[in-house]
Amino acid sequence: MCGIIGYVGTSPALPYLLKGLEQLEYRGYDSAGVAVMEKEGPRVVKSVGSTVRLREKVSGQSFSGGVGIGHTRWATHGVPSEANAHPQWAGSLFIVHNGIVENERILREELEAGGAVFLSETDTETIVHLVHREMDGGKPFGEAVRTILPFLEGSYSFLIAHADPSEPLIAVHRGAPLLLGTCSHGVFVASDMTAFPGEVHSTLPLEVDDMVTIRSDGRFEILSLAEGKARVPTLVSRSHQGGHGKGEYPHYMFKEIGEQPEMLDRLLSRRIRTERGRLSVGFSPEAETALQGAKRIRIVGCGTSFHAGLLGKYRIESLAGIPVDVDVASEFRYREPILDPATDLLVLLTQSGETADTLAALRMAREAGVPTLSLVNVEGSTAHREADASIFLDAGPEFGVAATKTFMSQITLLTLIALFLAPEVRLAEKEGRSRDEILSDFLKLPMLLDKTLSLSTGVTAMSRSLEEVSTVLFMGRGGDFPLALEGALKLKEISYIHAEGYAGGELKHGPLALVEKGTPVVSLLSPDERLVPKMVSNMKETLSRGAFLLSIGSERFQEEFSSVSSLSLALPDCSPIFFPLVAAVPLQLLAYHTACFKGYDVDRPRNLAKSVTVE
């Protein structure tokens, strides 16, 4: 969850550390800190809050050291404070750490019994004290680090530096992502490639159980702890992605919502191809082989990815006729699912490719001999490297903690997978149209998203009505049910309003008890002739209990839903297959504007981080 960065080179380290931490801040922003190894001695600066405060603290100070480490924190052990901020230290050793040491309490008690004095509540401090103890016993730096690793339980990575700049910087990957980056003036190591400056020309994703020694002259060595021998690295050229800044936008989230039409157009142009005058869906040969061999699809994801998976289930089962199970990744790994290598395909949804529970599900499936396919946004991530095949989300960088572009990409790709697998006869039976005709409409969707973005006035009015409420209910039927779950998640993530999503048909089975005079209920209505009358009936049931009704539906059925709504938004008409993609935009904007009206930091919601790399 935290973000770490280290640098060894001939240039001053501090500017690179600060800029890198700003790029890593989506991983945690409770506190931040740096340690730079200066000739006259190490200098540590830490602050509570965002990296802006850290930059303010170092302003006006002179740092020239070419070895340094930095950290931006999402708190797991100990409250956000300068004492608990990283780097932590013991003697002449300084450490930054991402992950959790699960047996920290036992180790701390043992160290304290031996005379160690702890200055923080963090599990991180146990690591540096253990290394310090080994070095006090006469072991060299690198050997001391290797010696203590078997005593640490959990999933983590850390960077540890010595006060003597001539000593190497050591990086250890034991489950939380780390990458190396090289340039003409030095070597970087960080949690994410976004932390690397533009001059980094080559990168290397580290493997689990890698220990890297980076020397002051720029040489580095990788030791595979699992194999007990050096690993020969294969550096890859770095592909640069633009658009990292907010530009003229007030928040990353607002910028990323606005990028979705262009992103969708790019994604569809790469996945929909023309063959013999007809449109078809194309993936890599490995992905197509994995999909075509599946008799049952198991989808796992967390948060927004789980909701995307639920929508994928609706589309794949309906259009392709293949059974689909969807699990929250953190539950899948512990509920002992029955996996069948002869029939199953595990599809993993993960923006970062580093989500701890999703990776655990991947490894469980591989151990059972089940093929795996990752839908992932980060090339070179663990999910990309370990899955049998991958389909990239192609969403570009997403810095807002609340997922927007990546959700759009996930539900787009899952719909394309459904169309790829669907027999023509079944499409004709279910939709009354051919694959070519459906894909032709799909290619028009970016234009519909553009039109939807222009409806901001209606969305803003809805958001203003939610500014002072304490709870909001979302409901939908069919593919709109997962969308209701996602709309509720977005609202609570960034506006801190309690929100829940329900299937419309479940209203009378409990949720209706929550409705009283003034309770906002957001209804989603795909242009499905079977479901619209039933949803309108559900809306009337809440209205008769005093609900304040907000509705988002297709302009084709505007008269039906707007007549019973206090506020309504009519979206451009489209097939029910595509409605969730169009309706996702106003739901994202609804959450965004509500949070802005309440005065919250949309890009840094409390207690959350973008990439969940711990269990």
Q: Specify the DSSP class assigned to residue 121.
A: S
| Rounded Cα gap, residues 546 and 473, in angstroms | 13
Same domain (yes/no): 148, 13:
yes
Task: Using pLDDT thresholds of 50, 70 and 90, give the confidence band for residue 241.
Answer: low
The pair phi, psi for residue 459, each rounded to 5°, is -65, -40
- Can you name the residues that pair with 280 across neighbouring β-strands? 273
Choose one of 237, 258, 285: the last residue of a domain.
237
Same domain (yes/no): 277, 352:
yes
Q: Specify the DSSP class assigned to residue 371.
A: -
Same domain (yes/no): 416, 271:
yes
Each residue of 302-335: pLDDT tens digit?
Answer: 999 999 999 999 999 999 999 999 999 999 988 8
Question: What Cα–Cα distance (Å) separates residue 545 from each residue in 470, 519, 538, 542, 566?
Answer: 17, 9, 11, 5, 14
CATH of the domain at 334: 3.40.50.10490
Same domain (yes/no): 68, 17:
yes
Residue 243 is assigned to a structural domain of this protein: no
Residue 401 is assigned to a structural domain of this protein: yes
* pLDDT exceeds 90 at position 109: yes
The active-site residue, picked from 2, 183, 302, 596, is 2
> In the annotation, is 2 catalytic?
yes
Each residue of 477-530: pLDDT tens digit?
Answer: 999 999 999 999 999 999 999 999 999 999 889 989 999 999 999 999 999 999
> How would you class 121 by CB atoms within 10 Å of its CB: exposed for 0-12, middle for 13-18, buried for 19 or more?
middle
The active-site residue, picked from 313, 405, 490, 610, is 610
Q: Which domain holds residue 561?
A: 454-615
Residue 336 is assigned to a structural domain of this protein: yes
Each residue of 584-608: pLDDT tens digit?
Answer: 999 999 999 999 999 999 998 987 8
Look at 224-238, 241-255, 305-319 and tell me which has the smallest mean pLDDT.
Answer: 241-255
Look at 243-257, 280-294, 433-447 and tell me which has the smallest mean pLDDT.
Answer: 243-257
Mean pLDDT computed over every residue of the chain: 93
Q: Specify the DSSP class assigned to residue 175.
A: B
Same domain (yes/no): 184, 225:
yes
Look at 134-148, 241-255, 422-436 and tell me which has the smallest mean pLDDT.
Answer: 241-255
> How would you class 556 by CB atoms within 10 Å of its CB: exposed for 0-12, middle for 13-18, buried for 19 or more?
middle
Same domain (yes/no): 359, 222:
no
pLDDT score at 442: 97
| Cβ-proximal residues to 515 (8 Å cutoff; 6+ apart), any chain | 473, 521, 542, 545, 546, 547
* pLDDT exceeds 70 at position 154: yes
Choose one of 443, 474, 504: the last residue of a domain.
443
Each residue of 4-18: pLDDT tens digit?
Answer: 999 999 999 999 999
Same domain (yes/no): 275, 375:
yes
Same domain (yes/no): 322, 406:
yes
Same domain (yes/no): 54, 25:
yes
Residue 242 is assigned to a structural domain of this protein: no
> In the annotation, is 302 catalytic?
no
Task: Using pLDDT thresholds of 50, 70 and 90, give the confidence band for residue 615.
Answer: low
- Structurally, the chain folds into a number of domains equal to 3
pLDDT score at 229: 87
Same domain (yes/no): 153, 99:
yes
* pLDDT exceeds 90 at position 290: yes
SS (H, E, C) 180-233: EEEECCEEEEECCHHHCCCCCCEEEECCCCEEEEECCCCCEEEEECCCCEECCC
